[in-house]
Amino acid sequence: MLPAFERGFMDTLQDGKMRYYWDRVRHHGARYAKFHWPSVEVILNLVYTYDVALNHFAKRMSKIGLSPSAFNVLMILSRHDEKSCKQRDLSKLMLVSRANITGLVDSLAKRGLISRAPDKTDRRVCIVRMAKKGERLLEQFLPSHYEEMRRILSNLTPAEEKTLTALLSKLRSLFWQQKKEGRP
């Protein structure tokens, strides 16, 4: 995220500047036989749009002292039965190694937002459970979070939302497909 004191340029970027720069991208790429502007344009838009959306929501989360990952942990717990989850499963759902989950859980536990206890049937596993404090924090944040999402997205028509979801999903599947074929 660009620091606050240098953000003036962003206003320029979204209008003229970005088109100007993307023109350069297109002209530079034209030197390569396999360069295909419509494809590149899709990827550029994916990256920039993700960036803008992430920054928007990350900024809101940071106001309640949560990083996107920390928020993600709380949401996963909240959605699970008994509001608890094995660290192993957290690791798999968040596509992050177990080693990194340890640190993340540590910091959330230190703040009293979650608790950690050994599983009774398999003493290797740790069960992470939402604490009252974490629950309250989520309950305080989620209504405005969902409202904000809805407010921004409401400028897309239902048909546009549906199309965008379908196309993103299709695009993602194309990458997955490549990975699968790479490991026969």
Partner DNA sequence: TATTGTTATACTCTATAACTATA
Partner DNA sequence: TATAGTTATAGAGTATAACAATA
Closer of 99 and 174 to DNA (Cβ) = 99
Of 118 and 166, the one with the shorter C-beta distance to DNA is 118
Residue placing its CB nearer to a copy of itself in the complex, 123 or 179: 179
CA max distance for the chain: 63
Contact 114, 131 (CB under 8 A): yes
Judged by beta carbon, residue 78 or residue 107, the one nearer DNA is: 107
The residue range among 45-53, 101-109, 110-118, 122-130 that interacts with a copy of itself, by the rule CB under 8 A, is 45-53
Selected range binding a copy of itself among 39-47, 103-111, 117-125, 129-137, rule: CB under 8 A: 39-47
- Residue 96, phi-psi category: left (phi > 0), alpha (psi -120 to 50), beta (remainder): beta
List all residues 6 or more positions away from 18 whose beta carbon is below 8 Å from its beta carbon.
48
- Other C-beta atoms closer than 10 Å to the C-beta of 62 total 14
Within residues 77-116, the interface with a copy of itself by CB under 8 A covers 78-80, 91-93, 95-98
Q: Which residues contact DNA (rule: CB under 7 A)?
A: 1-5, 67-70, 86-88, 91, 94, 96-107, 116, 121-127
Residues, the chain, total?
184
